[in-house]
Chains A and B, each alone.
Chain A
Amino acid sequence: MLDTNIRPSTPRRLLFLYEILALILLFIYQKDNLDQYIIGIGIGLILLVHISNYLLLKISKGDNYIFLIATMLMSIGLIMIYRIDSQAGVRQLMWLALGIFFFYISYFLVRYLKGLNRLIYIYIGLAYFLFILTFLLGKRTYGAINWIRVFGVSFQPAEITKLILIFILASFYYQYENFKEMKYSSYILMAIAYSFIGLLFLQRDLGMAVIFYAIFLAIQFIYEEDRKLILLNIGLAVLGAIIAYQAFSHVRIRVATWIDPWQYIDDKGYQITQSLFAIAEGGFFGKGLGLGHPHFIPLAYNDFIFSAICEELGVFTGMGIIMLFLLLVYRGFKIALGQSNLFYRILALGISTLFGVQSFIILGGVLKVIPLTGITLPFVAYGGTSILSSFIALGILQAASEDFEWRMSDD
């Protein structure tokens, strides 16, 4: 069946059809109190998705699929956000436009800037600078100090730091032969990674700490020649988790509400139980767009967008989203396997791991498979910095999917 003829443009057409149908439905949904945005949203989304896809076709000779997958995810997300709160939907569309702009910028920067692999000390310095900035200007929301406001815009520095971490790791293992002459260099790298994780912990940003750890572990697992370091890394993480559980009450609360949220349904378990209600209520096919009650879910368009989607568009759509993320991760690893330049290969691996871990943590969280931590579902959930960061990462991945060896010989 897989052999039957298929045109490369088929997925793009399906995406177009999906958007058109959803927008028609939203239009009818709101026809009684139509706001002026719906037309704008509709045209905006379709133009944004299709112009950017078309443009990429002309510019990039790399991977054909990752951007397409991301635009599908973001279309589902935007439709859902707009249905829950039209104001948020309009803002999300602007963030998406900005995100795609940043996608191209990061794509071009990574593609044309030379010597990105030699800036490890600058990366490390930048990462610490961002952490210090967070502590100096940080705002506390939902118990975590991870936001700062710059020029009136809320901004989560760790969203950028996680990309810097990938660059640090890529630069380090790119120049592994040089660093190996330096004594204990791998240990120093590990100390730096752990200092990031520790700082995130102090900011109470547990989800982000797990993401940092997973990226570090994955790259270390693939490239570190001192294999006992990997065991040490895993051992330390287990130890750290136990200490954190003993020492911090907010960690214990997370675990307790994970094991039995029904017991704390009135307060601490409220969010997760509302999420489970929504998913259960949706069934396999969902209630239908506009026919569910996603506003019962707290943070329905941020952390719990997946639950809202499951309620109205069905668990089958939810599974589709999970599969899209799996495809994205698969493409990322495939890009890495095909990339002959080590630096860009590690970048591709780091970013694929980032997408995989981040989506797994929040999907598993809202499903109560793992303890819930407040991070966003890449491309789908509402959120400024998170959207920008995801698209920047995607731009890097897109650039890393191209053949660098003969570009260099070309110039």
Chain B
Amino acid sequence: MTSENRRIILVLSAFCILFVGLVGYLSYFQVFKAEAVKNNSYNKRLWINEENVLRGSIMDRNGNVLAYSEKDGETNKRYYKYGNLYSHIIGYSYREYGKAGLELEYNNVLLDISESAALNELKNLVLPSSVGNNLKLTIDHSTQEKARSLLNGRKGSIVLMNPKTGEIYAMVSLPDFNVANLNENWKEITENPDSPLLNRATQGLYTPGSIFKMVTTLGVLESFSLDLEYNCVGSTVIDGYKLTDYNERAHGKLNLHDAFVKSCNPYFAEKAVVMGKDKFGEVAERFMINKKIHFDLPVKTSQFPYKGNVEETEIAASGIGQGRVVVTPLNMAMMASAIANEGEMVKPILVKEIIDKDGRILKVMDTEVISTVTGPSVANTIKDMMVDTVKAGTGTNARIRNVTVAGKTGTAENPSGKSHSWFVGFAPAEAPRLAIAVVLEEAGVTGGQGAAPIARDLFIHGLNNIDFEEEY
């Protein structure tokens, strides 16, 4: 073949590659990207489809309607009964601002759009206008209201759930916003430096502080060779860095139980280093740290970077929940649940049932164990420590008469501001029905002072008001 012909064929081959590439990309786009692109709120076609369908209602576990749609002349109008209360759970569905929360995640259910496009087309032909499906949530409306009022306007988040079933009874994130009149305050919401749009319960990544000692404790318990005794002098030096206790108080000679109850920092820092980063990391991952949590709302993944070249001081800091460890409140509520549920972590659920317009239940969400953190005996050992923490340790503010509360406080030093105040726990300790995580962002007070009383009040309200269905 002449060099001319060879070059001609080379150029032709280049064109073939380009065009076949285009066909390939088009298929890739259609298979993997199209769904996400289509659901972008700027896609005007979405709204045309919606004009024909009356969006389904959303109600709490007792059937109280929280959001519903009504025909308003030609168009369908969406009503949100409780402006701020469900801004991060239900979210909103606005032509101008798009969708968020369950309105986004369950859009196809609420509009009764099936997965198959061909089926939809046929359905639209037969029934040009229809009514979507309703959602029944696991939320208890009165508890949700109580939780929001307990935060009392402070920045932070509360997640209250059933440790056995995974049902979320309340989930609050402050600051929030009024979804009923987004048109009037959208600009203000988006420009607010405290980002009200952020759902702190699932998307907020906080330094956990001492509540992370629950993870360290499990690691210590599993490392049989570890010496559980330790003499605390109020501070310890690891690799040239000094780690101190709160107020540099020396706890003296103590074992794991006492170290946990008194939240002794040098103890857990030292033990984390001796345990080793790989063991520590492996235990943390059983608590779904570094793991994707599948939930009805998008969840940020909690992080504990331990792989690769991590210094000892970093591991020591992680041992007391400082350093580069960051977690979501939802994940921490799940952590408390796992201990409450004899070591089994269940998938959190927010949507209990999908019900069609005629009241038929289309789908019931089942409880699902997503991680076995530990066995019942080790879980009970940790539970006992948590009970003593509330009885006589840092968490006494969470004490309730006649009910045994188990808990762990945390005061997380925050490099960018005042410390976060944490409490995680569950009640009643003997037969747990409620598990909680409370975080007050940049509260500047200890977990025992700030978060523990909130947990106590919400436990009292919840135990008295929630209809738990299953008998204990």
Contacts and interface: CB of A to CB of B under 8 A. Distances in A.
Nearest to A318: B26
A184 B8 CA distance: 25
Contacts of A273: 40, 42
Most chain A beta-carbon contacts within 10 A, residue among B5, B27, B34: B34
B25 A337 contact: no
B26 A329 contact: no
Interface string B1-26: 00011011111100110111111011
A296 B11 contact: no
Contacts of A223: 4
Nearest to A296: B44
A294 to B, nearest CB: 11
Interface in B31-49: 33-35, 37-38, 40, 42-45, 48
A37 interface: no
A325 B33 CA distance: 25
B7 A367 contact: no
Contact of A337 (B5, B38, B43): B5
A131 interface: no
Nearest to A219: B11
A325 B117 CA distance: 29
A280 B22 contact: no
A276 interface: yes
A364 B22 contact: yes
Contacts of A265: 40, 42
Nearest to B35: A280
Given A281-B38, A293-B45, A326-B15, A337 B8 contact: yes
B34 A280 contact: yes
Contact residues of A: prevailing secondary structure: helix
A277 B42 CA distance: 9
Interface residues of A, number: 38
B34 A369 contact: no
Nearest to B25: A369
Given A276-B37, A277-B40, A326-B19, A221 B30 contact: no
B29 interface: yes
Interface string B90-131: 000000000000000000000000000110010000000000
A198 interface: no
Contact of B16 (A319, A326, A363, A369): A326
Contact of B15 (A293, A356, A363): A356
Contacts of A353: 11
A115 B382 CA distance: 97
Contact of A296 (B12, B16, B45): B45
B19 A322 contact: yes
B12 A281 contact: no
A222 interface: yes
B363 to A, nearest CB: 25
Interface in A315-329: 315, 318-319, 322-323, 325-326, 329
Contact residues of B: prevailing secondary structure: helix
Nearest to A284: B30
A322 B23 contact: yes
A276 B22 CA distance: 14
A330 interface: yes
Given A222-B11, A280-B37, A293 B26 contact: no
Contacts of B45: 277, 281, 293, 296
Nearest to B6: A222
A315 B18 contact: no
A273 B43 CA distance: 9
Contacts of B34: 279-281, 283
A318 B26 CA distance: 9
Contacts of B44: 277, 293, 296
A23 interface: no
B25 A367 contact: yes
Contacts of A329: 12, 15, 19
A397 interface: no
A319 B31 CA distance: 14
A333 B12 contact: yes
B11 A333 contact: yes
A105 to B, nearest CB: 28
28 contacts: A221-B7, A276-B37, A277-B40, A277-B43, A279-B26, A280-B29, A280-B30, A280-B33, A283-B117, A285-B118, A296-B45, A315-B30, A319-B27, A322-B19, A322-B26, A323-B19, A326-B16, A326-B19, A326-B20, A333-B9, A333-B11, A333-B15, A337-B5, A337-B8, A356-B19, A360-B19, A367-B22, A367-B26
Given A277-B44, A333-B9, A367-B25, 5 more contacts: A279-B30, A284-B30, A315-B27, A326-B19, A349-B8
